[in-house]
Every structure is written in C-alpha cells, then in structure tokens.
Amino acid sequence: MKTDAKSLPNLKEAANRTKSPIQITSAKSKPSDALKSWAKGRKYCIYTYGCQANVRDSEYLRGYFENIGLTETEEGTEADITIFNTCAIRENAETKIYGELGRMKQPSQNNPDMIVGICGCMMQEEKPLNFIREHFPYVNLIFGTHNIDDIYPLMNEIIERKNRVISVKSIEGDVIEDMPSKRFEKYKAFVNIMYGCDKFCTYCIVPYTRGKQRSRKVEDIVKEVEELKAKGYKEVTLLGQNVNAYGKDFESPITFDVLLEKVAQTGIDRVRFMTSHPFDFQERVFEVMGNYSNIMPALHLPLQSGSSEMLKKMNRRYDRNIYLDLVQKLRKHVPDVNLTTDIIVGFPNETEEQFEETLSLVREVVYDSAFTFIFSPRPGTPAARMKDETPAEVKKARFLRLKELIDEQATYTASKFVGQIVEVLFDTVSKKDKTKISGYERHGRLVHVDGDESLIGQIKKVKITSSRTYSLMGEIIDDWRRSSKSWSN
C-alpha cells in the first residue's frame, strides 16, 4: 500500500507560540458522493482513551460518521471503520494502545475495505507515530488533534486511491465552530470553552499535542449551553486544560468568572467545570460559585506536589502557601465544597522530605478524592531530560503511601454523607442488575439506589443510607410510587 504522508508531527514546532491572532472558522469538510455511497450499510466504531477533551473529540467524529449514514457498533472488529482516539499523558496510556491495535489485524485482512484509524494526542508525537507506521501496516489512517474536520477527505483518499494516509499538524491551532457532533449522553454534556494549553508544566505533553491556548467566544459557549438546555440536558461541564486562564488570549481579555456567571444565568440545572490551575485562579470564581445554586459545589484543583521546590521544578508558578491560601478562600465561600486533586509522585529526584511535604499538605487540606500518578517521562518535555536517581521501588512505595492516605480521606468524607439527603441526577442502569440505578449528587459523589431506567435523566432526592470509599448507597425519597404508597397506607 502506498503511503501518503501529507504531514508529520514535530514536537519542537508544536512548542512554538506566536502572537498571531486565533482564527475562528466553521467546519468545512463535505463528503464526496463516493464516500457517501461507500458508507451505505456500513458501521463505525470509536475507542476513546484519556481525558474529556478526547471524549468530546470522539463525539465530533461520531457526528461526521453519522452524517454520512454510518451506524455505530461497539465492537471494532465488526466495523468498517474503527478509530482509536488515543492519549499521551503517561507511558502506560500509550502501551495499552499497541495491544488493542493488534486485535484489528485479522479483521482488516478479512475485510480489505476496512479502515483502521488512529488519532488523538499520541499521534502528535513522532515516536509512537513512527512505531505504528512500521509495526502496524494495516493501520491505514493516521491523523491528529488539529484536523478532525479533515476526516472526509482523508477517508476519501483511502477509499478512492487505496492509499494509507498520514496527516498530522504540529500547529498552534484554531477554533472550529459548528462541527457536527453526536453526544454520548442525553442529560449531561461536555462543552469545550477553550483548547490547548500555554502553561508548559515541565512534565506535561499536552501543550505540545493540543497547541496554543485558544478560547471560544462567550456567545458561542452560552448558545451551546442554551441549545443543550432546550434539548433537555440537565448538566454541562465546561472543559479546558486550564479553565481559569479562559479569555486571557482574547484581544480584550475577559476572565473565567464572567463566563461562569453567564453560563449559570442560562438556568441549566447543573454547571460543573474542569480543570482549574491554581496560578490563574481568580477569587471571584469562588464568589460566583457561592452565588449560584446551579453551579455545583465541586472543585478539581490539581496540586501535583506539596513541596514548593518540586513545584518550581515542575514550572507550576505557585507554591505550597499560595495553594493552601486558595483552599482556605474556597472553603470560606463554598463551605461544603467537594475538593479533588491530581498529584504526581516521583518527579525527578524528589526527596523523601519533599514527598513528606506532599503528605503533610494532603493531611492539612483533606481531599474528597484524588488522582495520583507516578511520574512518567514524556519524550520532548523538559522533565524527561532531567537526571533521575530515585529507584522505581522507592517511587512505588511512596505512591502506595499516598494512595492509602487519599483512600482514608475519601472513606472518611464519604461517611459524612450517611443520613443526609442529596440530589442525584440519574444516568446509568446497572449492567448486572436492572433494578439498580446510579448517578451523581451535586458534589460529584456517585450514588447507587434501587430504581429502574425510567429515572434516567431525572434529578431526585435521595437519603444516603451507607457509604463506601468512592460511592454512596441510598433510597429515593421523592419517588411518586413511594409517596402514593405511604398516602394509601
């Protein structure tokens, strides 16, 4: 098969940041007649890895595929086009993909028309792209995070010319509005408010794989939320790598609190947002959170390390005291806030004392839960070039100590919900037992109750009867069947 390498990734170029203004454009890709006739009666499958930005990108791809008449299947080996939307944040996210791709070998031999595609952050890096190019000859479509809107011409190239196509752009990126989209959920939606990141934390690959920070216009975001509300959506999560830097890239900058307030004023039942960065945090966000009951009392505030020296080496631009001060202010405005975080253990040459500073900060703050990671060197980032003498076993042992503390705190904070009445937006019926249903309460805790799928999409009051580390169990108390029963008694 001939390879048409239109463009290849280049991590160095991807780190360039210019002052040139961000282009806001509309989706322009149109399907050819040949593509439309190819799609007739065929199926697609998308496997999504990584963060919510990838989930949203997969929703765009679903939109493009459904618009040409492809139907979805959950099994990639049965599809005519299977896409792996990949993540590059840590090495294990990447190695997992190679195993998954292997499953496509046989089906692609049985179906010579099959398109096996790979996209997402991992394809923005030279090394994994070249590895796939060499070891997975049946992967015939490779594209990146900046060119989802090129999906039709890229597919066309394969269908009409039987070429293998590689098209990855290492650019700052633009904002493309009006891309087709088919969302995964009916009541909860992710809404991008910005793309990319300019923070360049020394361990992180994201600024290279997703380009420069580009904010969407307030009007476009508010319009999207209003449309979702009109369709019956109950919850939106505003998405960005660093939402507190929202609007900094505009010619006349605005701040995230202004956007958050406008979104709350749409009257949609629930507003969440993620992820925040302590450096860019405006205190007014806390005030807005406290003033609007439809902004959920939850904040994900990545810490990364409790040691100011480590934070400096990570290029985080805040220190231990600034972080602690922020948490204090947050709790003043939103006393019942559910506080979660991300922590990296084993950053190059982290000492025992520095690690213990993380433990002591965690003890002081008391988190509701946390994602904890062992540092994973990402080629091309400054931290990957730092000498690291700490043995892997030491890192693993620290990781387990931290995990134990976090689990202890999560168990304790969950137990405080027992006996309380919470509001749950139900979204999932248990796969194993159709009489069990779950959803999230306002703080973001997972709640399980007895109930059936008629409750999906509804917000109900639930009395919490017991707790586990990462979930709560309860009983619906405003269910009409129960109240009519008690009335007839």
Q: In the structure encoding, which two tokens stand for residue 238, read together?
A: 């505003």
Our CB check for ligand SF4 shows the closer of 154 and 197 to be 197
Site residues for ligand SF4, 260-289, by CB under 6 A, read 277
Interaction of residue 11 with ligand 5AD, rule CB under 6 A: no
Q: In the structure encoding, which two tokens stand for residue 300, read together?
A: 């994900």
Using alpha carbons only, give the angle 363, 365, 369 rounded to the nearest 5 degrees: 85
Interaction of residue 196 with ligand 5AD, rule CB under 6 A: no
Interaction of residue 201 with ligand SF4, rule CB under 6 A: yes
Residue of 242, 266, 369, 438 that binds ligand SF4 (CB under 6 A): 242
Residue of 81, 148, 155, 204 that binds ligand SF4 (CB under 6 A): 204
Q: In the structure encoding, which two tokens stand for residue 194, read together?
A: 């910005």
- Can you tell me whether residue 257 is helix, strand or coil? helix
Helix extents (H) in 103-192: 105-110, 126-135, 151-161
The binding track of 84-103 with respect to ligand 5AD, each residue x by CB under 6 A or -, is -----xx-------------
Contact 256, 285 (CB under 8 A): yes
Contact 187, 427 (CB under 8 A): yes
- Smallest distance from the beta carbon of 371 to ligand 5AD, in angstroms? 7
Q: Which does 225 bind (CB under 5 to 8 A by kind): ligand SF4, ligand 5AD, none?
A: none
Q: Letter for the amino acid at 476?
A: I
Query: For residue 311, what are the contacts with CB-CB under 8 A and spacing of at least 6?
Result: 304, 305, 318, 319, 320
- Smallest distance from the beta carbon of 400 to ligand 5AD, in angstroms? 16
Q: Which does 240 bind (CB under 5 to 8 A by kind): ligand SF4, ligand 5AD, none?
A: none
Interaction of residue 200 with ligand SF4, rule CB under 6 A: yes
Q: In the structure encoding, which two tokens stand for residue 157, read together?
A: 């190239």
Interaction of residue 199 with ligand SF4, rule CB under 6 A: yes
- Write the Ramachandran bin of 173: left for phi over 0, alpha for psi from -120 to 50, otherwise beta: left
Our CB check for ligand 5AD shows the closer of 344 and 414 to be 344
- Smallest distance from the beta carbon of 146 to ligand SF4, in angstroms? 16
The binding track of 142-181 with respect to ligand SF4, each residue x by CB under 6 A or -, is ----------------------------------------
Our CB check for ligand 5AD shows the closer of 31 and 348 to be 348
Contact 437, 479 (CB under 8 A): no
Site residues for ligand 5AD, 137-166, by CB under 6 A, read none
- Can you tell me whether residue 292 is helix, strand or coil? coil
Q: In the structure encoding, which two tokens stand for residue 337, read together?
A: 């806030």
Q: Which does 194 bind (CB under 5 to 8 A by kind): ligand 5AD, ligand SF4, none?
A: none
Contact 203, 306 (CB under 8 A): no
- Write the Ramachandran bin of 186: left for phi over 0, alpha for psi from -120 to 50, otherwise beta: alpha
Chain-centre distance for alpha carbon 300: 12
Query: For residue 427, what are the contacts with CB-CB under 8 A and spacing of at least 6?
Result: 185, 187, 188, 438, 439, 440, 456, 457
Our CB check for ligand SF4 shows the closer of 48 and 241 to be 241
- Smallest distance from the beta carbon of 373 to ligand 5AD, in angstroms? 4
Q: Is 119 exposed, middle or buried (0-12, 13-18, 19+ CB in 10 A)?
A: buried
Q: For the chain, what's the residue count?
A: 489
Interaction of residue 206 with ligand SF4, rule CB under 6 A: yes
Q: What is the DSSP letter of 251?
A: S
Interaction of residue 46 with ligand 5AD, rule CB under 6 A: no
- Smallest distance from the beta carbon of 456 to ligand SF4, in angstroms? 33
Site residues for ligand 5AD, 363-402, by CB under 6 A, read 373, 375-376, 378
- Which residue's beta carbon is nearest to the bound ligand 5AD? 342
Distance (Å, whole) CA 365 – CA 410: 12
Our CB check for ligand 5AD shows the closer of 282 and 376 to be 376
Helix (H) or strand (E) holding 261: helix 256-264
The binding track of 318-347 with respect to ligand 5AD, each residue x by CB under 6 A or -, is ------------------------x-x---
Site residues for ligand 5AD, 284-313, by CB under 6 A, read 302, 304
Q: In the structure encoding, which two tokens stand for residue 215, read together?
A: 């904010």
- Smallest distance from the beta carbon of 16 to ligand SF4, in angstroms? 15
- Smallest distance from the beta carbon of 304 to ligand 5AD, in angstroms? 6
Nearest to 375 by CA among 305, 308, 302: 305
Q: Name the site residues for ligand SF4 (rule: CB under 6 A).
A: 197, 199-201, 204, 206-207, 241-242, 277
Q: Name the site residues for ligand 5AD (rule: CB under 6 A).
A: 89-90, 203-204, 302, 304, 342, 344, 373, 375-376, 378
